[in-house]
Structure 1
Amino acid sequence: MRLSRREFSKLGAMGLAAQVLPSASSEAQDANRKVGYCVIGLGRIANHFIGGVQGSSTSQITGLVSGHRDKAEKFAARLGVPKSSIYSYEDMDRMRDNKSIDAVYVALPNSMHAEYTIRSAKAGKHVLCEKPMSTSVSDAEAMIAACKAANVKLMIAYRLHYEPTNLRAIELIRQGALGKVQVIESANGFYENLGEWRLNKAMSGGGPMLDVGIYSLNATRYLTGEEPESFTASVSTIDHDGRFDTVEENTTWTTKFPSGALASCCTTYGANMRSYYRVYGSKGWLEVGSFGYEGLRLQANYSSGGRGTPATVLDEPNTEPDPKQFTRQADHFTECILQNKTPKTPGEEGLRDMQYMQQIYKAAGVVAL
């Protein structure tokens, strides 16, 4: 499922390669200075990350990797990045000698995550890689091994692990506010008709499961604090209009956890679906609406006493604007680099989701990952 640089360039000529690659440098030595990030891929998600770094007091953008020099130079002029710190895909390994770059942010199509994570690690740079981690379990394992061999840190960009509303939901569950978790519902999907790389299995690795379904999968894990025991699953394609020639349109799955808790999740590229999760416990429920970059809201209703005890009702909106989630994410990785800590969402976290998605596809009768 991995594309060659030549194949990616061809797609780039069709407007599908609006992303870039960076590399990494030697470890940050002075805890008082800002950690420099090189952004690999200048597409939409990279814009959010760049905005997040601009809002950080501990991080800065110091390099860019792109197949479009003119586009990269416009970014560089806006960000104060010297032209000497702009790289192409072919020569990005030269970042090894750029001491202003401590880490890279890999924002490329899924199939390219492994190659550019490994190249960045070999260049001595720490790696923050977008999710899904890769398009196969074996690639995820190779990424972890390469970063360990190079003695650099690897973090997967699960931004919601650092977001206050999700942390509040986890806190309430761990405190026992809902009693014993019984069932979780979750959904995430949207109508995809742009014909971009997401609908090309060679680049995406699969359909909405890898793109947005992974949010529901990962959320059920951090909400329960458990690892899945088993899965049942189904996939379908309803619209035979050419969009889904290589990837599925819909996926639904059920997870059973060791405690007996069940999670029912669905994802789609065929409809604009409300993204949310709702946790039902023996004492009440809570819901977080949206996996988005802003506008998250926690609502809950639970009672710690018996029947007739007044319920606690919560309605807690998060008013933090985009790209604050990306600032929190960058700040965490920067702290890990400066203080030599293991990230909260290391490569192993991404690998686990890759393994579980492989099991979900297998349960649905699909050979993938």
Structure 2
Amino acid sequence: MALESAFANFTRRDWERESVDGTVRVAIIGVGGFARQRALPGIADSRYCEASLLVTRSPDRTRSTAESFGVDHVVDHDAYLAGDHAGAYDAVYVATPNALHGGCVIAAAERGKHVLCEKPLEITVDRARNVVDACDDAGVTLMTAYRLQAEPAVRRTRELVRGGVVGDVVQVHGGFSNPLLEHASAGTWRLDPDLAGGGAMVDLGIYPLNTTRFVLDCDPVGVYATTHSSDDPFADVDQHVAFQLEFPNGATASCTASFDAHAGSRLQLVGTDGMISIASPFGGIVPHEMVVESGDVRMEYTGPPVDEVREEFDYFGYCVLSGTDPEPDGRDGLEDLSVIEAVYESARAGRRIDLE
């Protein structure tokens, strides 16, 4: 693969292989800050999805949001589970606290609705497997919301790796930090292990974990990890985490995540013949600043930002309309949860954990 060709038509949707008609009507389950600020605007700008119902704990307070985005129906969670307005949507987007994902997804699958579920799929592997089985039994599409898999900089990075531009990848360095309490209270569900399933690893570390698996196109065989937490409000979850993944080809990935550090993210892949670095890959709209070194050639690229949330919903809608299986499917979500459980086991035991 010629390095110069990597940046041609950088934002192309290589997954969009055929023309499809129509849109997928989506029920948004959980109308928190991310749904209001990112998901609903992304759907409004998308080609293949439209929001048709909001599911919330506070319908009265959510009606103004529904009006802003032209959503006709607002119901509470009990009404959703009871099937109210089930004819108004074709699919659901689940953005509730993690421990509530399973019930919302299974209820959708039982009604034949397709599912886009935020990561992690659930708070344990066993509970997530129930989600995957329910969607398989119902014959509906299940996509785990790894939006970076639809993001152009990450997709181009995978192409560069596959094309051998940097030789064999030997090391990956990934990190994601965010000062949680600057934009959330100490009572946030993200600090409740019963609702979140973990702390920085579950909420932030999952980004370098999944992205590394995606660009290398393989799964780790071993993990070693450490976690650290101070007193309240971080006493019950991991405030900081560092984990190293070992891959069957000998590559290693060294990753970190923190709930209590300056906001930032990075992803760098070092190969036998070169290096790829993406600026700020995980923290929002990716600026598309990349540096690629291949042998004696070095190229820097800066392109227009692309809203990866819009790309994610368009990819999901396209998969539903075209009958295409999404790459970040339920089993992709299961694999990450298996690694996350191994991270926590390693941190408790102080040793390397083998992954099946």
CA spacing shift, 1:340–1:96, aligned 2, 3 Å = farther
AA aligned opposite 1:213:
G
| 1:351 alignment partner in structure 2 | 334
Is the deviation greater in 282-291 or in 156-165?
282-291
Structure 2 unmatched runs, 5+: 1-19, 351-356
> Structure 1 residue 97: deviation in Å?
5.4
> Structure 1 residue 273: deviation in Å?
4.7
> Structure 1 residue 133: deviation in Å?
1.4
The 8 Å contact of residues 207 and 248 in structure 1, kept in 2 or not, is answered as yes
Is the deviation greater in 273-282 or in 140-149?
273-282
| 1:219 alignment partner in structure 2 | 211
> Structure 1 residue 344: deviation in Å?
1.5
Q: 1:254 aligns with which of 244, 255, 268?
A: 244
> Structure 1 residue 327: deviation in Å?
1.5
What is the percent sequence identity of the aligned residues?
30
| 2:344 alignment partner in structure 1 | 361
The 8 Å contact of residues 264 and 283 in structure 2, kept in 1 or not, is answered as no
Structure 1 unmatched runs, 5+: 1-30, 304-310
- SS at structure 1 position matched to 2:283: coil
Residues 156-214 of structure 1 show CA distances to partners (whole Å, capped at 9, x for unaligned) of 11001011101111111111111111111111112222311111111111110000100
Q: 1:140 & 1:183 partners in 2: Cα distance? A: 30
AA aligned opposite 2:311:
R
- Using the size of structure 1 for normalisation, the TM-score is 0.84
The 8 Å contact of residues 134 and 140 in structure 1, kept in 2 or not, is answered as yes
Q: 2:278 & 2:234 partners in 1: Cα distance? A: 30
- SS at structure 1 position matched to 2:284: coil
Q: 2:70 & 2:175 partners in 1: Cα distance? A: 40
Query: What RMSD over aligned residues (CA atoms) do the two structures have, in Å?
Result: 1.7
- SS at structure 1 position matched to 2:327: coil
The 8 Å contact of residues 187 and 276 in structure 1, kept in 2 or not, is answered as yes
AA aligned opposite 2:70:
G
Residues 251-301 of structure 1 show CA distances to partners (whole Å, capped at 9, x for unaligned) of 111111111111111111121153111111111111112213222421122
Is the aligned partner of 1:76 residue 2:66? yes
| 1:300 alignment partner in structure 2 | 292
| 1:334 alignment partner in structure 2 | 317
Task: Please show how residues 1-369 of structure 1 align to structure 2 within 5 Å.
Answer: 32-47=21-36, 48-82=38-72, 85-95=73-83, 98-193=86-181, 194-195=185-186, 196-237=188-229, 239-240=230-231, 242-290=232-280, 291-294=282-285, 295-303=287-295, 311-321=296-306, 324-365=307-348
> Structure 1 residue 246: deviation in Å?
0.9
The 8 Å contact of residues 93 and 123 in structure 1, kept in 2 or not, is answered as no
Residues 38-83 of structure 1 show CA distances to partners (whole Å, capped at 9, x for unaligned) of 101111221211111111122111111111112221122122222x
- SS at structure 1 position matched to 2:318: helix
Residues 96-121 of structure 1 show CA distances to partners (whole Å, capped at 9, x for unaligned) of 75333000100111111111111121
AA aligned opposite 2:224:
T
Is the deviation greater in 219-228 or in 60-69?
219-228
CA spacing shift, 1:197–1:216, aligned 2, 3 Å = same
The 8 Å contact of residues 81 and 104 in structure 2, kept in 1 or not, is answered as no
The 8 Å contact of residues 35 and 59 in structure 1, kept in 2 or not, is answered as yes
Q: 2:263 & 2:225 partners in 1: Cα distance? A: 19
The 8 Å contact of residues 143 and 326 in structure 2, kept in 1 or not, is answered as yes
Q: 1:251 & 1:366 partners in 2: Cα distance? A: 15
The 8 Å contact of residues 169 and 298 in structure 1, kept in 2 or not, is answered as no
AA aligned opposite 2:34:
I
Residues 6-52 of structure 1 show CA distances to partners (whole Å, capped at 9, x for unaligned) of xxxxxxxxxxxxxxxxxxxxxxxxx5322100101111221211111
- SS at structure 1 position matched to 2:180: coil
> Structure 1 residue 93: deviation in Å?
3.1
Q: 1:351 & 1:255 partners in 2: Cα distance? A: 17
AA aligned opposite 1:343:
P
| 2:8 alignment partner in structure 1 | none
Q: 1:159 & 1:366 partners in 2: Cα distance? A: 33
AA aligned opposite 1:339:
S
The 8 Å contact of residues 187 and 273 in structure 1, kept in 2 or not, is answered as no
The 8 Å contact of residues 124 and 337 in structure 2, kept in 1 or not, is answered as yes
- SS at structure 2 position matched to 1:267: strand
- Using the size of structure 2 for normalisation, the TM-score is 0.87
